[in-house]
Structure 1
Amino acid sequence: MRGTRALPTLDLVDAGDHVCWLVEQGEDFGSTARAFLADGALFGDKVLVVGSAETRWPHRGTAQGLLLDPGAERVAGVEWGTEAVLAAVRREADTACREGFRALRVLAQADSLWPGGASAQTVARHELDLDALVADTGTLMVCAYHRNGFDRATLELAVGVHPHQMGRRAPMPDFRMFSAGPDCWSVSGVIDADGAAAFRTAVGELLARSATVRLRCQDLQLMDAAAMEALAGCVRALPGRKVVLEGVNGTVRRCWSLLGYDTPQIPVELAP
């Protein structure tokens, strides 16, 4: 069962963990990143860096793993995007298993993938896809977001769609959503007016590629009227799609019915 953690250090990252590292301005990113990558040799992991070449090289000057540099690919005129990253991680995770490594250890620099920043929708889609891949393959994945490279709403959503986070000032998201199996996602925390837009964005990205999405809500403490409207509106906007809420508490069930959402026109099922 995957849980959520706020990590004080990357030393605690283990196989199957997907971590959002919120990097502060002036933080010694290089040293922390290189230490995380160097641990790959200690634990028997294959190492992959998505980012700049400087991150790949430890201070002693020995090559540290594979490198995918989106900036270099763009300069060479090669088409690059998030699908290429997903394919590369999947390919290297499978290769690491065949080659006898414990796991694939990945450091992905978000500002290298999106040098001009990215929308919340783009980040949600990419990180939710990555989380499903991490859960499936047992990869160690750390996604580094420099605070000055993305707006606040996008950073908050980025943290919320990772099970784990690290950073001195990393926000504690109101809710988290992470993979619990094929087309199944665990939702925890509180979804209220402040998080309703982010929740709709995340669910919309899941529904865009799956006809039915199951949300396990046993650890969801609250879903207020704004969040319910966001969910209902999201499903209505995507004909032929369905959301199944599993394990919601009695208060959510009663409010859902009182607000008039318990109708066939809104394909959201509240399962036991």
Structure 2
Amino acid sequence: MRRSGLVDHTRGLGAHDHVCWRYDDVPEFEARAREFLLDGLEQGYRVCYVASGDVDALVHGLRGIDGIDRALREGAAQVTSLEATYPVGAVVEPEAQVRAYTAATEAAVRDGFAGFRVVAEATPLVRTPKQLAAFARYEHLVDRYMADHPFSAMCAYSSAEIDDSAFAELACLHPNTNARAPGFRLHAADGHTTALGGEVDSHADGLFTQALNRVDLRARDGELVLDARELTFIDHNNLLRLADHAARLGAPLALRGSWPGLARLVDLLDLRDVHVDHAA
């Protein structure tokens, strides 16, 4: 099972984990990036650092990682300038970016590494509404790939440049984040399923609908299954939105969760095409 929830550091994350990190200043971000990359090197992954700026300056920011120079020489670590890949104002093509990371992961495994791990400071790619919409779609698609392949990533965004609303659109599509808002997480899970965690309350109304429209919820064996083991609350309006979304997909909804209020709410709302399977 992938890790899902709030995190206050980037150590101890596994081969399929995906973190959305909001930071206030560059030294803070670089410290968390070093944690994540060092942990990856120690677990046998090839690691990659992607951020804005000159490559030499980016390498300098990684000097706190033991053995980083050797890792760079031997191909265990890579550093890429964001500007070398994307022109200013570029809109990411989601499927193409996932293909690029798929190829990088497969290459790392062929070269004898346990997998591939990336830190990407992606603030310049989400500054406009068009960029944000494309990148949010990419975040979901790449998260889907990560769930079943040895690829892990930390996606970082500057709080000085990205407002709360934009960050929430991105964070809610990650299994892990360091920010308490938006409160819920809708992300890929093991076995080609989707998981819903956290709290879905009235503050999340529009964002939850938007997130449902961005992810690929698909029926399997005649029903739409949602792993809700990490769900701690959902209000009646958002449960109705979820049920309506499943109905539009033409499938009954199966919620696998442990929050006691879930089954009671389904019964209270008389949602006949929704059932709750208790999961520990």
Q: Is TM more than 0.5 here?
A: yes
Task: Give the residue type in structure 2 aligned to 1:201.
Answer: Q
d(CA) in 2 for partners of 1:215, 1:68: 37
Larger deviation: 151-160 or 95-104? Answer: 151-160
Q: 2:242 aligns with which of 231, 247, 258?
A: 231
- Indicate the SS of the match to 1:100: coil
Aligned to 1:9: 9
Task: State the shift of 1:129 in Å.
Answer: 1.8
Residue-by-residue CA offset, 1:159-210 (whole Å, 9 max, x unaligned): 23222223xxx32542222322244122222212112322222222224x73
Aligned to 1:210: 218
Residue-by-residue CA offset, 1:198-228 (whole Å, 9 max, x unaligned): 2222222224x73554211233232212212
**Pair 89,229 (structure 1): closer, same or farther in 2 beyond 3 Å:** same
Task: State the shift of 1:17 in Å.
Answer: 1.7
Larger deviation: 11-20 or 99-108? Answer: 11-20
CA contact (8 A) 1:211 1:241 kept: yes
d(CA) in 1 for partners of 2:93, 2:101: 13
Percent identity over the alignment is 26
Task: State the shift of 1:39 in Å.
Answer: 5.5
Aligned length: 262
CA contact (8 A) 2:92 2:131 kept: no
CA contact (8 A) 1:120 1:154 kept: yes
Q: 1:252 aligns with which of 253, 262, 267?
A: 262
| Structure 1: gaps spanning 5 or more residues | 263-267
Task: State the shift of 1:135 in Å.
Answer: 1.8
Q: State how 1:110-125 maps to structure 2 within 5 Å.
A: 110-116=122-128, 121-125=133-137
Task: State the shift of 1:66 in Å.
Answer: 4.0
d(CA) in 2 for partners of 1:122, 1:114: 8
CA contact (8 A) 1:163 1:176 kept: yes
d(CA) in 2 for partners of 1:149, 1:99: 38
CA contact (8 A) 1:49 1:106 kept: yes
CA contact (8 A) 1:19 1:162 kept: yes
Q: State how 1:18-97 maps to structure 2 within 5 Å.
A: 18-25=18-25, 27-30=27-30, 32-33=32-33, 36-37=36-37, 40-54=40-54, 56-58=58-60, 64=72, 65-66=77-78, 69=81, 71-75=83-87, 80-97=92-109
d(CA) in 2 for partners of 1:245, 1:145: 32
Task: State the shift of 1:33 in Å.
Answer: 3.3
CA contact (8 A) 2:45 2:117 kept: yes
d(CA) in 1 for partners of 2:257, 2:36: 37
d(CA) in 2 for partners of 1:105, 1:152: 27
Task: State the shift of 1:57 in Å.
Answer: 1.9
CA contact (8 A) 1:22 1:145 kept: yes
CA contact (8 A) 2:125 2:132 kept: no
Aligned to 1:158: 170
CA-based RMSD: 3.5
**Pair 71,261 (structure 1): closer, same or farther in 2 beyond 3 Å:** farther
| Structure 2: gaps spanning 5 or more residues | none
